[in-house]
Structures are given as structure tokens and as C-alpha cells.
Amino acid sequence: MGKEFFYTGSYATREQEGVKAMRLSAEDGRITERAGLAGMHHPSFLKSNAAGTRLYVVSETGEEPGSVFAYAVDAENGALALINEASTLGGSPCHIALDAAERLLIVTNYTGGTVSVYEVRGDGSLRLSDNVAHAGSGLRGDRQEGPHPHSAIFDAANRFALVADLGTDEIVHYRIDRENGKLIRHGATKAIPGAGPRHMAFNAAGDMLYVVNELDNTVCVYGYEGEDSVLTQRQVISTLPEAFAGESTCADIHVTADGRFLYASNRGHDSIAAYRIQPDGGLELIDIVSSGGRTPRNFAISPDGQYLLAANQDSDNIVAFRMDSDTGRLRPTGEDVESFKPVCVAFL
């Protein structure tokens, strides 16, 4: 049976192996470590190209401009060889988006309040081509005192990029100027005040956008009109059980490749919420299951659609779940791998 390479990012120091290359066995769900890489401070988010030959990693530093690194991937053992490093011109870079043509890469800088754009050259190296500043604030003075871009996503036509700004409660729409590698502001969609939009996922057709809101623990469902990049709110659904009264914040969101199911993570309740995607794009809650640890900041679905891996930041572990292809339910496989402050899982 096949084996899938994946990489983990973490809140490790430069002296620690903050990025790990691992393999997941499709046959039994076993996870084995293959290689490790030190030298980066807080390598917190990772993104690979479609061929699995390049890996891009941000160094999430807060008080000084962060960096984004480009690596070549060794297909045999997962080892990484540095191609180049580029400044993000902003603090706390926390997310990477790569367009379908793999010609542009976007990094969002959480504390810097900016969005950085890079030209991806033929050898996989990065060249900074734009840096766009956000402005404004949100309802909550403790978390929304200023702009906090948290993620970006390209639409299906690769004409627009959308940026979720947790600080301003907005989804900001940018038209892509490919000739110059720049983002041209096209407009913005206001989120529910105090919601704090964080991560996003399109459905398979690209006409529905799902946004997980960190601060109010919801998923917002939007219809998307790609011709002019317009979002229309269709549904808001909680990620938490009705009886839960503690503190929790949402983190990550993913849609299965077949477009039938959606998952979102809760930090505090420490769980993964599973939803069935209805024919009209709306969501129906299936189940909310424990993430098997504390603070599931990030999770990933294996390319074959059989497994979900949850990275539990504050319990230092990665937990594997088998996904039921008929019901969408998650079942722990028993595979629980120790890993220092894991905050990202990225399959090749």
C-alpha cells in the first residue's frame, strides 16, 4: 500500500528540529519520522507545491520582520535543501497560499498587518514583488485593536485572492496583477462583528467559501460569484456543543477532496467538528470529537482521503483519525505521535 510524506511545523527554536518529515502508511495509519531540520525560529506554517518537489515555510517572528524559506524536497527520504530565504516585511507571518499556476505565493503577517506577495521562479526560489498594508480595527479591543491578516486563498479561476483579516472582521478581495506580481484591492466583505475570520476553504466547484471564525467559534458559509469576486452570506453554524460554556477559539478548516465533508478545529474545547456539505452548500453537523490532545491549532487530511492528522500544540502530540468515507465520522486509529509544539501538518 502507499505511503504519504507529510511535514510538521512547530513553535521550536532555531536550535531545535522545528520541521519534521514523516510518513503515513495508508495500509495501517502508522506514522514514522524520516528527517528533521533545525535553523528556523517558529517554523509555524508549511505549504508544498503540487508535485511535492518544493516546500515553503514561514518563520513566525513577532518583533522583527519574519522570513519565508523555499526548500527542495528529496523524494527518497524527505530531506530538505534550502533554495533561498526572503523577508516578509512584517511580524508574525502565519500562513502561506500558493496559486494554482504555482507562479505566485502569498504570506500573511499577523502582527505586521500586511500581506506579502512573491514571484515563484523556475527553480522554486522566491522574489518579493508586493507588500500590501491593511488598516482598521474590530469590535474586540483585546484581539482586534488593529489589522491581523491571518490567511489567504486563491479562487478557482486564479483571478482573485481573498484575505481573511481577524483584526478588522473582513474578507479582503484582491485582483491579481500577474504581470507585475501585485495585488490590486477590489473590495471587502464584512464579517459578523467580533467574529474574527481566520482560515478559509472553497468547495470543489469553487462557488462556496467556508470561513472559520476564531473569536466567536463559528463557520460562515458564503456563496461566491467569481466573475466579480462577490461573497453572499448563506449560513452561520457553531463549531461547539450547545452545552459547552468554557473558553474556546477556532483554528483550522478543511474540505474533503470529494466535496462531501468539512472539518473545523476548536482550541479550548480541544475538538474537531465534522459537517456534511448539503447539495446547496450548507452545512449539517455530524459530530464533534476530541482532538486527542490540547489546542489543535492545525490539522490536515491525507491525499487519499483516509486519514485526518490533528496537531495538538499544547500537548505535544499528533493524533491520527480514520475518516469514514460514507458518514464523514472520525475514529481515532490509536496512532499518537510525540512532537514538540506541533502547529502545522502539510502533506506533499
Q: Give the start-to-end residue ranges of the domains of the chain.
A: 90-347
Contact (Cβ atoms closer than 8 angstroms) between residue 120 and residue 102:
yes
Residue labelled with grid coordinates 515563484? 120
| Domain with residues 90-347, CATH architecture | 7 Propeller (2.130)
Contact (Cβ atoms closer than 8 angstroms) between residue 342 and residue 312:
yes
Q: What pTM was estimated for this model as a whole? A: 0.97
pLDDT < 50 positions in the chain: 1
Non-local CB neighbours of 299 within 8 Å, separated by 6+ positions: 252, 254, 263, 265, 272, 291, 308, 309, 310, 311, 345
CA 35 to chain centroid, in Å, comes to 23
Angle at 98 between CA 164 and CA 273, to 5 degrees: 50
Say how far apart CA 258 and CA 26 lie, in whole Å. 18
Say how far apart CA 61 and CA 280 lie, in whole Å. 41
The pLDDT assigned to 45 comes to: 98
Closest CA to 164 of 205, 196, 186, 194: 196
Say how far apart CA 96 and CA 187 lie, in whole Å. 21
Contact (Cβ atoms closer than 8 angstroms) between residue 299 and residue 254:
yes
